[in-house]
Amino acid sequence: MSGNVNGPQSGSSRAELPVIDVGVVHERSDAARNRLRVLAAAERLFATRGAAGVTMDEVAAQAGVGKGTLYRRFGDKGGLAVALLDEREMELQARVLGGQPPLGPGALAADRLVAFVAAYLELVAAQLDLVLMSETSAPGARSRTGAHAFWGQHVRLLLSEAGVGDVDLRADVLLAALAAEQVRHWLDEDQRDLERVGSALAGVALALAQP
Amino acid sequence: MSGNVNGPQSGSSRAELPVIDVGVVHERSDAARNRLRVLAAAERLFATRGAAGVTMDEVAAQAGVGKGTLYRRFGDKGGLAVALLDEREMELQARVLGGQPPLGPGALAADRLVAFVAAYLELVAAQLDLVLMSETSAPGARSRTGAHAFWGQHVRLLLSEAGVGDVDLRADVLLAALAAEQVRHWLDEDQRDLERVGSALAGVALALAQP
DNA sequence: ACATGAAGCGGACTCTAGTCCGATTCACTC
DNA sequence: GAGTGAATCGGACTAGAGTCCGCTTCATGT
């Protein structure tokens, strides 16, 4: 995602490329203070009792802030999760854009794709309930996150480098396989271990990258 | 799904094969009457204002039934959607199990797979908001429906007939691509037409069926 | 410093999903 | 056809997400 937790409402500019994008106009000092308080409180509460088990009232109370403030800034529960995921996600974005191959530039598209799948799967699994909330709190939430835009772009690029047709749709298919809900299903209900899911998905990625 | 809308609570038996499964013990006459009333009312309301725009209170009121009755029988809003989808879904199930090739038995696995994708996509698209509700009303709802079990079984069978490895996971990937939320995204947000999505997904299915 | 208007704040309020349990109705027996 | 136990009914109740709008606080120009 793109760190744009600052602007009054997120998701305003459609065409925005998911890159840095700092403090839109000028964040008022009380707003900044409250933003930090909320993030800290949310992180603490989510870590303790799981994202799903925490109410927005609790976050607001714990942060010493009104509910209106919470919603003004983060939009909804999913937006709060997105904000918390920001940091980790940006780290992976950096590794993809400028890190070592095969994740970063310089390797074959197919190899980069496999590396991406493994890395992204790991990230999702490590923050499962946060990602789950960010993707399912509202219908259609998944495609609205800046993160999704970024990874979609990346996968489309790699697929077109590999020369397949239907690049857009295939990228969506691959990302759907990496959706939090799906990953949770494999890990929790099917009791698969992360390793095996990862290698099976690598196979899927390669199959999809075949012209 | 399997027409097991009768039993006090659905989703009790895990190992159930998604086949016929008629009236569990003995449906009381008032229960039967109310079930029909509820289904009729829900169908009417959903058709008029869309599944998402109708509250459970309205369904109950329109059916002349208490809310407790609604929830006792259908579990939650998703369960109500599942019950309404039942009929159409069973029709497709019949065509898959015993209809003409390539959808029914007798064709090559790859051809059956492509036919299934097209038919299922069409069904989802035709009942989009109902399927959406059945899959997203509760977290994990998608994998709990009998329908999902049935189609999963079918796809796994075809994939293993085609000789691929990772049959289970690949089946899940293919079905994830056919999830209501994903289909809605392609149709509504990306403004693609059903034809093109169908043929692109046929390509995906074939790629996944490649060993 | 002070005025001023815009941005931000917060908590009461609404809306809806889902639960609970006393009252009711049913199927079955004698 | 009255008795009986269990399944079913239904509406009041709870809980949590998200909205609304009058009040407060900030940044800026004078």
Give how far Cα B70 sits from Cα of A82, A210, B44, B46, B93, Å: 35, 49, 16, 15, 27
**Residue nearest C8, CA–C1′ metric:** A31
Across all strands, nucleotide nearest B66 (CA–C1'): D10
For the stretch B162-209, pLDDT in tens is 999 899 999 999 999 999 999 999 999 999 999 999 999 999 999 999
Higher pLDDT, B143 or A154: A154
**For residue A211, what pLDDT is reported?**
77
User: What is the average pLDDT across A47-53?
Assistant: 94
A104 has pLDDT over 70:
yes
d(CA A129, CA B140): 13
Return left, alpha or beta for A13; rule: phi > 0 is left, psi -120 to 50 is alpha, else beta: beta
Establish if B144 touches chain A: CB-CB under 8 angstroms. Answer: no
Three-state SS for chain B is: CCCCCCCCCCCCCCCCCCCCCCCCCCCCHHHHHHHHHHHHHHHHHHHHHCHHHCCHHHHHHHHCCCHHHHHHHHCCHHHHHHHHHHHHHHHHHHHHHHCCCCCCCCCCHHHHHHHHHHHHHHHHHHCHHHHHHHHHCCCCHHHHCHHHHHHHHHHHHHHHHCCCCCHHHHHHHHHHHCCHHHHHHHHHHCCCCHHHHHHHHHHHHHHHCCC
Cis, bond preceding B211 (omega within 30 deg of 0): no
Q: Cβ–Cβ of A181/B142 closer than 8 Å? A: yes
A12 has pLDDT over 90:
no
**For residue A25, what pLDDT is reported?**
63
Q: Which of A120-134, A139-153, B52-66, B116-130 is predicted least confidently? A: A139-153
B127 has pLDDT over 90:
yes
**For residue A42, what pLDDT is reported?**
96
**For residue A120, what pLDDT is reported?**
97
Establish if A124 touches chain B: CB-CB under 8 angstroms. Answer: no
Mean pLDDT of chain A: 88
**For residue B25, what pLDDT is reported?**
61
User: What is the average pLDDT across B65-77?
Assistant: 93
Mean pLDDT is highest, among A5-9, B23-27, B78-82, for: B78-82
**Residue nearest C19, CA–C1′ metric:** B68
CA atoms within 13 A on the CB side of B145: 30
Percentage, residues of chain B above pLDDT 90: 75
For the stretch A108-134, pLDDT in tens is 999 999 999 999 999 999 999 999 999
B89: Cβ–Cβ under 8 A, 6 or more apart, which residues?
A: B1, B123, B147
Higher pLDDT, B167 or B145: B167
**For residue A146, what pLDDT is reported?**
81
Higher pLDDT, A47 or B147: A47
Q: What is the separation of C-alpha A94 from the centre of its chain, rounded to a whole number of angstroms?
A: 14
The tokens 């009303």 sit on which residue? B137
User: What is the average pLDDT across B91-119?
Assistant: 96
B118: Cβ–Cβ under 8 A, 6 or more apart, which residues?
A: B198, B201, B202
User: What is the average pLDDT across A81-91?
Assistant: 92
Per residue in A9-25, is it b (16+ CB within 10 Å) or e — as a string?
ebeeeeeeebeebeeee
Whose CA is closest to B118, among B194, B208, B171, B192?
B194
User: What is the average pLDDT across B121-139?
Assistant: 94
Percentage, residues of chain B above pLDDT 70: 88
Q: Cβ–Cβ of A182/B172 closer than 8 Å? A: yes
Q: Cβ–Cβ of A208/B207 closer than 8 Å? A: yes
B2 has pLDDT over 60:
no
Establish if A170 touches chain B: CB-CB under 8 angstroms. Answer: yes
B6 has pLDDT over 70:
no
Chain A residues whose beta carbon lies within 8 Å of the beta carbon of residue B192: 169
Q: Which of B24-28, B122-126, B135-139, B149-153 is predicted least confidently? A: B24-28
User: What is the average pLDDT across B16-25?
Assistant: 40
Residue A175 · residue A152 · CB < 8 Å: yes
**For residue A19, what pLDDT is reported?**
36
d(CA A148, CA B117): 25
Instruction: Supply the pTM of this predicted model.
Output: 0.88
Establish if A50 touches chain B: CB-CB under 8 angstroms. Answer: no
pLDDT band at A147 (very low <50, low <70, confident <90, very high): confident
Mean pLDDT of chain B: 87
- Residue A105 backbone phi and psi in degrees, to 5: -65, 150
**For residue B87, what pLDDT is reported?**
83
A17 has pLDDT over 90:
no
Q: Which domains does chain A show, CATH number per domain?
A: 19-75 (1.10.10.60), 76-208 (1.10.357)
pLDDT band at B29 (very low <50, low <70, confident <90, very high): confident
Residue B63 · residue B109 · CB < 8 Å: no
Q: Cβ–Cβ of A210/B207 closer than 8 Å? A: yes
B11 has pLDDT over 50:
no
